[in-house]
Structure 1
Amino acid sequence: MGFKELEKKLQALSAPRETVQDFLSRMDRDYFSLYSAAEIADHIGMASRLDRDRPAALKIVSKGERAFEITVVAFDYFSEFSILCGLLASFGFDIQAGNVHTSSDEEAAPARGPLARPKRPAPRTIVDVFQASLIPGEEFDAGRRQRLEEALLLLVRLLDQDKFNEARDQVNRHLIAYLSKAKVPEGGLLSPLKVRFDNRSSARWTILDIHGKDTPGFLYAFSNALSLRGIYIHKVQIKNAGAEIQDRFYISDRRGRKIAGEREKKALRISAALIKQFTHFLVRSPDPTKAIAHFDQLLDKIIEEEKSSSLISFLKKRETLHLLARLFGTSDYLWEDFLRIQFENLLPLLDQYKGKKLRIGKEALRRGLRRELRKGTGLEEQKRILNEYKDRELFRIDIKHLLEPSLTLTDFSQALTDLAEVVIEETDLLCRADLVKRYGAPRLENRRPSSFAICGLGKLGGAELGYASDIELLFVYEGPGQTDGREPIDNRFFFEKLAQQITHFITAKQEGIFHIDTRLRPHGNAGVLANPLSQLAAYYAPAGEAAPFERQALIKLRWIAGDETLGRKVEAHRDRFVYGGAPWDLKTALALRERQRNELVPKGKVNVKYSAGGLLDIEYAVQYLQIMHGARHPALRTPHTLAALEQLRRLKILPKEIWIDFQAGYLFLRSLIDALRIVRGHAKDLILPDVRTEEFTFLARRMGYGQRDWERGRKELEEEIQHHMRRVRDDFIRLFEGK
């Protein structure tokens, strides 16, 4: 490039002289050796038009069949190169070569020509020039060019507002949506990546050379990994040799310092390579942004650990990355579980989860828990061990169900129920033994031992637990008396203490996840925790104090732990009370259901449980019919919704077409509720997001809709929800209208 020629070109520019001088004085010498005078003048012209409203300029020139030169001149922001590479990849461009330049913070001394010291500094700018080809099957017309420019401006404006994560989130989603739709093979970046650091060749920056296999989105994946590590990219030289990339990055940390320490280099080499590979497994992730953020946090934890080589090797496996992309992109609370587990337990848990069945059986669970409990020397230590075991098994069951869609909802519910029953059973034994040591064993007034039983209600009683279900319990003891210890206490005090100890012994990770709920006991929160059988029978009786809704709730009662004989007596009383033929006030029950729809559903929202056509319409319809017909048909006396549905069909109480709607609707709505709750692990997550939002799109992906076409998946889920809830609502009205 000749400076006289450049001067001539610059004279034709309408840009202020200060802008021209500032631009030229702050570009390094490599820049001037790469571009002609006309090209440099063009870059300056683009830079002169930049302002806060339009912080980026784009120029695209066709260079032949499916080949383009793409020039971006913009104000400089952290992670901008990564954002730009991701955006171009999401529009179907494969970057073959190019150069990226960032203007210097310091004014460079001009060697000759029209370079003069400007009077005041301007914002740093970037000049990125890419030689790119359009991937086969893609088109780039005027409409797509306009959309690309609009997307570029939106993203750079986010960077200008320091919203780096939001910009990265949008690029992640655009790119993964494109890769999904374009049917790019998953996991294509498992080939080795060679990374070499050079701190000698540049006075200011660390030079990072990378060699590896080229695949769609490579530059984005790698530069995004650097950004996530807090690395600033100042200059890039991109060169492809066939299917191989040979790229050079000039980098520093966020403070402008070289990457000098060996530990820092090792951490960067590991994390950049793994994030780069992980990015191409995000096609199957319900929420790619959530997945990459969680994976980055995992790498922080790994790098902190001195003995991390086995886990790093495990993370390089294709199967592992598939697993983590699905897991990390689905649930915040499962991610928190993941971090909660010690690394020495995490590797075998992930490595072996496929070898274990979803439902291993109560006996296997019992043996495993008791083996662990033998390591504890006191009640507090046993409490810790029991809850750690419970949390590990919950995590195993959750990810097994999440990652293997062929497993049924009923299998999942039963696996959770088995775990809950074993944990409650062992908790009862531990807590009761502790109290007996202090007060002696409880005895009846005739000196016989007094038995104690624990019954499940709600989802536990029906063996219908799901993600974030709470554990509803009812405590019953045989009758009055005293303990036989040195300091005897009345049975009512003993069993009240036992019930209190059990509810505190089993800890909930957060509200709703294995949270013990005792509100369905007689008198609710105003009543005692443990009731003698006689008082329980008096409360739940035609002349007792139980409200109609409590009679309905008792349908789900089932003995789960403690003395079986006493537990069966409680179940027998349930049958006499619920199915004894006493009149059922259907009108009042329907009015209560109407109040739930009106008071518990925000205006304009859809609550999958409480709205018309929601899960409660199915469950309540079944329960109403159980109460109304259970006196004549003992087969209806079951706490299990699907079993009751089957019996109602067999007895022809429920028309076949309604049975089909209710069964399909029940399984669909239960799965939908699980998909809503799994994100945060919160039992109250029952409101559908607006169908136009990304949140709804990710809900669809969690449920397996539109893995390749996000928009189609969103529409399919919307149609399914409308179909099931409309049919359930209409059937509910048909069954009970006018009654």
Structure 2
Amino acid sequence: MSDYTTLLQQSPDPETAAIRLDQLLQDVTARRYLAKMPSGSMPTFIHLISISNFLFRYFCRHPGVIVSLYGPNAMERDKFDGISDSSTLRTFKYQELLKITWMDLAEKFSYPVILDRLSHLADNVIIKAMHLAAADKQYPGCEHSKIPFCIFAMGKLGANELNYSSDIDLIFVARNYSEFNSGALDYLGGVIDHVRRFNALMQEVSEDGFLYRVDLKLRPWGRSGPLVISIDETEHYYEASTEAWERFAWLRARILSGGDRKLGEDLLGRLEPFIYLRSLGSDDLERFIRIKNDMARQRRRNENWNVKMGEGGIRDIEFFIQILQIVNAHTHPVLKSTNTLMVLENLVKLGFVSREDGSDINDSYLFLRRLENRLQMVDEQQTHLLPDDIRLRRKIACSLGFGGSSDEQTVERFDRQLEKHRQVAKSCFKRILPKES
């Protein structure tokens, strides 16, 4: 252990890191692979076990995965070959999540790359789980497709900006049942059963964890609506919708590969008039202001600061960008992107946001997203609350690269930088619409 003293002291939580490293060194397999780990990789490893409880436990159960962090194919995406059940798929997910966490902490990739890798992993897991849930199911008139319906990724996944521990928002859209004549009920029943088995498979829990929490509340009529709805019914629902939040949700809708892409493209074309406004009427403005007011009221009820929903948080920046996107994308199609930073980049190019402001917003958004993921990296929990406890706050600050001669100084430097980025986000929220009432 004496060989690691300096590295342990430099980790976000030296005491925890020392205990955990000692525990791993008691295991023959872990000790062998740690002895072979290049010296340049050891700081990242110690950093990882000091901050992530769930990945440390994963190392304890599967010490052989240590070599995947520095072997000849380290950091390459694993293949799906040989995955034939949910247990193997969970193993794949956590091995890939481990690699992405390593990439994140090593800071050798830009943060949009990390978010994209997290999203790409979820995409692959979803489609593989869909195929496992299909089993030998045959749909009438769809003999050449295992997934004869469209899967829309929404929210952070749709934007290719997934968190470490985020629900995945999905909407399932089926073909019109009239296409199947006498086989319509078989098709509809088959699709609903398929989605139910997929949901159950995704949320199975083992000692390693689970695949993903699936959230279907963004579908038409929310939790009270059918799990799957036909394309015509979906179109009719949104033609009658007056809910502004549903327009925001569809800004990030992305068709997942593996399903019926043609069906999805057809629906997105039909929904364009709903998603992107041709002009901003008084009713639309009122709805947007109501959303802004609701956001302001909700944050006043929270005690601890919430990096996602709190004042000066992630949602402030997203709301600013999405309002500009909804209002201007009809005349500027380049804004019809699901990715937040890509939309921001194009808003700058079009002159809707100044270059200086665009740079500040980009930096603040990425800082807040890194902070959000550090909070979730600890226990793979969907948390957004920044702890008040100085020891926990110091741990998060150190994991983001802040340091100092004392815990107080480290936290002070972190808080100063955080406040700078919160001010940028607050400014976005305040200036996008009339002042909240």
User: By the TM > 0.5 criterion, same fold?
Assistant: yes
Counterpart position of 2:334? 635
Q: Which moved more, 1:633-642 or 1:414-423?
A: 414-423
Shift of 1:474: 1.0
Q: Which residue in 2 is equivalent to 1:348?
A: 67
2:360 maps to 661
Structure 2: how far apart are the matches of 1:628 and 1:483? Answer: 39
Question: 2:432 and 2:326 mapped to 1: Cα distance?
Answer: 15
Once residues 714 and 525 of structure 1 are traced to their aligned partners in structure 2, the CA distance between those partners, rounded to angstroms, is 42
**What's the CA shift for 1:299?**
4.5
Question: What pairs with 1:382-397 in structure 2 (closer than 5 Å)?
Answer: 382-397=85-100
**Superposed counterparts of 1:270-669, under 5 Å:** 275-299=1-25, 302=27, 308=28, 310-317=29-36, 318=39, 321-341=42-62, 343=63, 345-352=64-71, 355-357=73-75, 360=77, 365=78, 368-369=79-80, 371-373=81-83, 376=84, 382-402=85-105, 404-436=106-138, 441-443=139-141, 451-480=148-177, 489-507=185-203, 514-541=212-239, 544-545=240-241, 547-561=243-257, 562-581=259-278, 583=281, 585-600=284-299, 602-669=301-368
1:678-708 deviation line (CA, Å, top 9, x unaligned): 112211x222223x71211111101011177
2:403: which partner in 1? 706
The CA deviation at 1:656 is 3.3
TM, length-normalised to structure 1: 0.54
- Separation in 2, partners of 1:297, 1:594: 51
The CA distance in 2 between the partners of 1:454 and 1:658, in whole Å, is 36
- The answer to whether the 8 A contact 2:93-2:211 is kept is no
CA drift of 1:670 comes to 0.6
> Which residue identity is paired with 1:650?
K
Residue 720 of structure 1 deviates from its aligned partner by 0.9
Could you say if the C-alpha distance between residues 384 and 738 of structure 1 is closer, same or farther in structure 2, counting changes exceeding 3 Å? closer
Kindly indicate whether the alpha-carbon contact (under 8 Å) linking 2:151 and 2:172 is maintained by their aligned counterparts in 1: yes
Shift of 1:321: 4.5
TM-score normalised to the size of structure 2? 0.88
Task: Report deviation, 1:529.
Answer: 1.2
**Which amino acid is 2:343 matched to?**
A
Give, in angstroms, the shift of residue 539 of structure 1.
1.2
Cα distance in 2 for partners of 1:472, 1:389 equals 21
Cα distance change on mapping 1:546 and 1:473 into 2, 3 Å: farther
* Equivalent runs, 1:198-237 vs 2, <5 Å: none
Tell me, yes or no, if the aligned pair for 1:467 and 1:681 is still in contact at 8 Å.
yes
Counterpart code for 1:283: Q
Q: Distance in 2 between matches of 1:319 and 1:484?
A: 64
Provide the C-alpha distance between the structure 2 equivalents of 1:529 and 1:596, rounded to a whole number of angstroms: 28
Q: How far did residue 462 of structure 1 move?
A: 0.2
Paired residue type of 1:479: N
Partner of 1:182: none
Matching of residues 26-45 of structure 1 within 5 Å = none
Write out per-residue CA displacement over residues 410-453 of structure 1, whole angstroms, 9 at most, x where no aligned residue: 111111122221222222233234322xxxx2338xx9989311
Q: Could you tell me which residue of structure 2 aligns to residue 210 of structure 1?
A: none
Match for residue 413 of structure 2? Answer: 716
Cα gap change, 1:689/1:738 in structure 2, threshold over 3 Å: closer, same or farther?
A: closer
1:707/1:312 CA distance change after superposition, 3 Å: farther
Q: Distance in 1 between matches of 2:233 and 2:333?
A: 25
Deviations 1:236-287 (A, max 9, x none): xxxxxxxxxxxxxxxxxxxxxxxxxxxxxxxxxxxxxxx4444442122111
Checking the alignment, whether the CA contact within 8 Å between 1:482 and 1:489 is kept in structure 2 is: no
Alpha-carbon distance, 1:560 to partner: 0.9
What SS does the aligned partner of 1:531 have?
Answer: strand
Separation (CA, whole Å) in 1 of partners of 2:253 and 2:9? 44
Q: Hey, what's the Cα distance between the residues in 2 that align with 1:384 and 1:686?
A: 29
> Gaps spanning 5+ residues in structure 1: where?
1-274, 303-307, 377-381
The answer as to 2:380 corresponding to 1:671 is: no
What is the alpha-carbon distance in structure 2 between the residues aligned to residue 603 and residue 481 of structure 1? 49
Pairs within 5 Å for 1:66-77: none
How many positions carry a matched residue from both structures? 428
Can you list the C-alpha shifts for 1:137-188, whole angstroms capped at 9, x where unaligned?
Answer: xxxxxxxxxxxxxxxxxxxxxxxxxxxxxxxxxxxxxxxxxxxxxxxxxxxx
SS at match of 2:229: strand
CA distance in 1: counterparts of 2:90 and 2:342, whole angstroms:
32
The answer to whether the Cα contact below 8 Å between 2:156 and 2:162 also exists between their aligned partners in 1 is: yes
Greater CA radius of gyration, 1 or 2?
A: 1
2:414 and 2:406 map into 1 onto residues whose CA distance is 12
Aligned-partner SS, 2:173: strand
Structure 1 residues 466, 717: CA separation in 2 closer, same or farther (over 3 Å shift)?
same
**Equivalent position amino acid for 2:330 in 1:** A
| Structure 1 pair 731–389 and aligned structure 2 pair: CA distance change class (3 A) | closer
Distance 1:277 1:601 in 2: 49
Structure 1 contact 412–466 (Cα < 8 Å) conserved: no
Cα distance, 1:642 vs structure 2: 0.6
1:710 Cα deviation from its structure 2 partner: 4.8
* SS of match in other structure, 1:442: coil
- Provide, for residues 646-695 of structure 1, a one-character-per-residue CA deviation record: whole Å limited to 9, x for no partner: 11112212233432332121111111111222112211x222223x7121
Which amino acid in the other structure matches residue 133 of structure 2? C
Say if 2:403 and 2:410, in contact at 8 Å, map to a contact too. yes
Q: Which runs of 5+ in 2 are unaligned?
A: none
One-letter code aligned to 1:558: R
Cα gap change, 1:427 to 1:731, in 2 (>3 Å): closer
